[in-house]
Amino acid sequence: MARAEFARVSLRERQSIEPYLKQKPVPLGRIAQALGLQVLVSSLPAGVSGKIEKTGDNFTIRLNRNESRERQRFTLAHEIAHFLLHKDILQRTGEIEDTVLYRSGQPQRIEFEANRLAADLIMPDEGIESDLRRLQTRFTEEAFDAVASEWQVSKAALEIKLGPVYS
Ligand SMILES: [Zn+2]
């Protein structure tokens, strides 16, 4: 994990999620479980992708049931990232609720951090590297679609991860 955000996650939490980052696709539900988070697919207002809220001593993540599976996966990773990085805010405010643009009323920096860690959780460097190299060497639409589907990520997310080689 190359990114700065991952290094900020506590050692104990990193150790409990690292085994799951070696799997393809990454079992985000298991990661949430390992962290003691409850995950519910809920009827949220249109325009809200998800939220994480304090429920007693623990936290509950809600995902908007009307969004696509890939989208729900990214939102789940984003909310897990808020838990890992922004517990202080969650303790203070009780919840972070994200719009479809992953805005929450928190400073934009907070949302960028959550998005970067979310991308690393759904597409861990060590796992996806060989797939990216293959696409960079010989790009075809079919191969690109296959990789997105194997990792259960949106094509937009994979395109960002693949970087400017894709053109
Ligand atoms: Zn957020």
> How remote is the CA of residue 96 from the centroid of ligand 1, in Å?
7
**Distance from C-alpha of 136 to C-alpha of 141, rounded to nearest angstrom:** 12
Beta-carbon count within 10 A of 165 CB: 11
Better-scored residue on pLDDT, 158 or 166:
158
Which residues does 58 contact at the CB level (< 8 Å), separation at least 6?
A: 36, 37, 38
Q: What is the largest CA-CA distance in the chain?
A: 51
> How remote is the CA of residue 115 from the centroid of ligand 1, in Å?
7
Mean pLDDT score of the chain: 93
Better-scored residue on pLDDT, 2 or 78:
78
> How remote is the CA of residue 131 from the centroid of ligand 1, in Å?
28
Which band of pLDDT confidence, cut at 50, 70 and 90, is reported for residue 104? very high
What is residue 165's predicted lDDT score, i.e. its pLDDT? 60
Which residues does 10 contact at the CB level (< 8 Å), separation at least 6?
A: 84
> How remote is the CA of residue 112 from the centroid of ligand 1, in Å?
8
> How remote is the CA of residue 107 from the centroid of ligand 1, in Å?
10
Q: What is the pLDDT of residues 114-159, one digit of tens each?
A: 999 999 999 999 899 999 999 999 999 999 999 999 999 999 889 9
What is residue 1's predicted lDDT score, i.e. its pLDDT? 44
Helix (H, G, I), strand (E, B) or coil at 112: helix
What is residue 166's predicted lDDT score, i.e. its pLDDT? 46
By the 8 A CB rule, do 97 and 47 touch? Answer: no
What is residue 121's predicted lDDT score, i.e. its pLDDT? 96
Residue 41 backbone dihedrals phi, psi, to 5 degrees: -95, 120
Fold of 4-122: Arc Repressor Mutant, subunit A (1.10.10)
CA 93 to chain centre: 21
Residue 51 backbone dihedrals phi, psi, to 5 degrees: -155, 160
**Distance from C-alpha of 104 to C-alpha of 97, rounded to nearest angstrom:** 5
Q: Which of 151, 149, 143 is nearest to 127 (CA)?
A: 151
What is residue 163's predicted lDDT score, i.e. its pLDDT? 80
> How remote is the CA of residue 143 from the centroid of ligand 1, in Å?
31
Mean pLDDT of 59-77: 96
Please check the confidence at residue 40 and state whether its pLDDT lies above 50.
yes
Q: What is the pLDDT of residues 133-143, one digit of tens each?
A: 999 999 999 99
Please check the confidence at residue 21 and state whether its pLDDT lies above 80.
yes
> How remote is the CA of residue 63 from the centroid of ligand 1, in Å?
12
Provide the residue ranges of all domains of the chain, joining segments of one domain with +: 4-122, 125-167
